[in-house]
Amino acid sequence: MEKLIITAAICGAEVTKEHTPYIPYTIDEIVREAELAYNAGASIIHLHVREDDGTPTQNKDRFKEAINRIKERCKDVIIQPSTGGAVGMTTDERLQPIELNPEMATLDCGTLNFGGDEIFVNTENDIKEFAKRIQERHIKPELECFDKGHIDLVIRLYKKGFIKGPLHFSFVLGVNGGMSGDLRDFVYMNESLPCNSTFSVAGIGRYEFPLAVASIVSGGHVRVGFEDNIYIEKGQLAKSNGELVEKVVRLANELGRDIATPDEARKILGIGE
Ligand code: KMH
Ligand code: ZN
């Protein structure tokens, strides 16, 4: 099997210090968390940034500072800024970090309820526009799919030429409003992918590690981090993103799957080809 690419979603937009004191807000905190995750075995950092008070922002300068500082500490790591941002942001606001020409960026592939009164809006035309803007900069999109219908939409847009291959999907399972993280749902998503695509799985909350194992044994890749889950085990907060990545490395070792370096991840994903 291919080596395992571990993505660390170190910050996100929704988790606050009330949920866990270990969530990073400031650039210093974000850089430290990125470094801990990288040292533990993450080859991709899925990046959101915040104002110092924790407010999510897609400000380009804030991303630039975070990316430059992370690269000083983690020279070869792949940075994957979010174009999802936070619920309620405009599309222009969300797209700002791609102007920095990162190697990767997320492309969210459908609209869904996001808990409470929140709706994460990604209309078909939004997705086409995001895909176009990401592709014209030769950035590798990570196709975030929160539901099976999102995969279908990607396939349709791929056939029409709006999204180019090779396709790399990210199943984000267990969001309140999206598909659950039950094994049955993971298998259904996996079996719905077109040939020659790659995928990673992000399980929200209690789904994080069971889905990591499912993906490790299925030949997929894994995302963990405070954006998705703050517990190292039931009722016990993880003290860093590094701890969450270390746990995936332990699971992969037990299951006989080697961990990809950033350069190996680039090859697997066809970045820079
Ligand atoms: N914060 C969520 C509303 C992404 O990074 O592309 C969207 C999100 C997806 O986190
Ligand atoms: Zn995100």
DSSP run (H or E) holding 236:
strand 236-237
What pLDDT score was predicted for residue 180?
Answer: 98
Tens digits of residue pLDDT in 198-225 = 999 999 999 999 999 999 999 999 999 9
Ligand 1 pocket check for 120: Cβ under 6 Å: yes
Assess whether pLDDT exceeds 80 at residue 133.
Answer: yes
* Ligand found nearest the CA of 112: 1
Q: State the angle between helix axes of 208-218 and 183-191 in degrees (0 to 180), rounded to the nearest 10.
A: 40
Give which of 244, 231, 248 is closest to 20, Cα–Cα. Answer: 231
The pLDDT value given to residue 74? 98
C-alpha distances out from residue 140 to 37, 82, 96, Å: 21, 12, 16
Exposure on the CB side of residue 261, measured as CA atoms within 13 A: 5
**144 CB within 6 A, ligand 1:** yes
* Nearest alpha carbon to residue 60 among 88, 25, 102, 28: 102
The span from the CA of 78 to the CA of 268, in Å, is 13
Taking the centre of ligand 1 as the mean of its atom positions, its distance from the CA of residue 52, in whole angstroms, is 19
Q: What is the ipTM of this complex?
A: 0.99
Nearest CA to ligand 1 atom 6: 84
pTM: 0.98
Reported as a single tens digit per residue, the pLDDT across 251-271 is 999 999 999 999 999 999 999
Domains of the chain: 6-269 (3.20.20.70)
Which of the four pLDDT bands, split at 50, 70 and 90, describes residue 272? confident
Which residues, other chains included, contact 55 with Cβ-Cβ below 8 Å and sequence gap of 6+?
none
- 75-107 confidence digits (pLDDT tens): 999 999 999 999 999 999 999 999 999 999 999
| Gap from CA of 86 to ligand 1 centroid (Å) | 6
10 Å CB burial of residue 227 (0-12, 13-18, 19+) is buried
Q: Is 13 in the pocket of ligand 1 (CB under 6 A)?
A: yes
What is the pLDDT confidence band of residue 129, given thresholds at 50, 70 and 90? very high
- Cα torsion 127, 133, 135, 137 to 10°: value is -160
Task: Report d(CA 268, CA 273) in Å as an integer.
Answer: 11
Ligand 1 contact, 84 CB (< 6 A): yes
Instruction: Kindly state if the Cβ of 80 falls inside 6 Å of ligand 1.
Output: no
The pLDDT of residue 270: 96
Q: Kindly report the protein residue whose alpha carbon is nearest to atom 4 of ligand 1.
A: 84
**Is there a contact between 105 and 111 (Cβ–Cβ < 8 Å)?**
no
pLDDT at residue 84, rounded to an integer: 98
Ligand 1 atom with the smallest distance to the CA of 118 is 3
pLDDT for 273 equals 76
- In total, the chain counts a number of residues equal to 273
108 Cβ inside 6 Å of ligand 1: yes
- The alpha carbon of residue 60 and the mean position of all alpha carbons in its chain are separated, in whole angstroms, by 19
10-66 residue pLDDT tens: 999 999 999 999 999 999 999 999 999 999 999 999 999 999 999 999 999 999 999
* C-alpha dihedral sign at 44, 46, 51, 57: positive
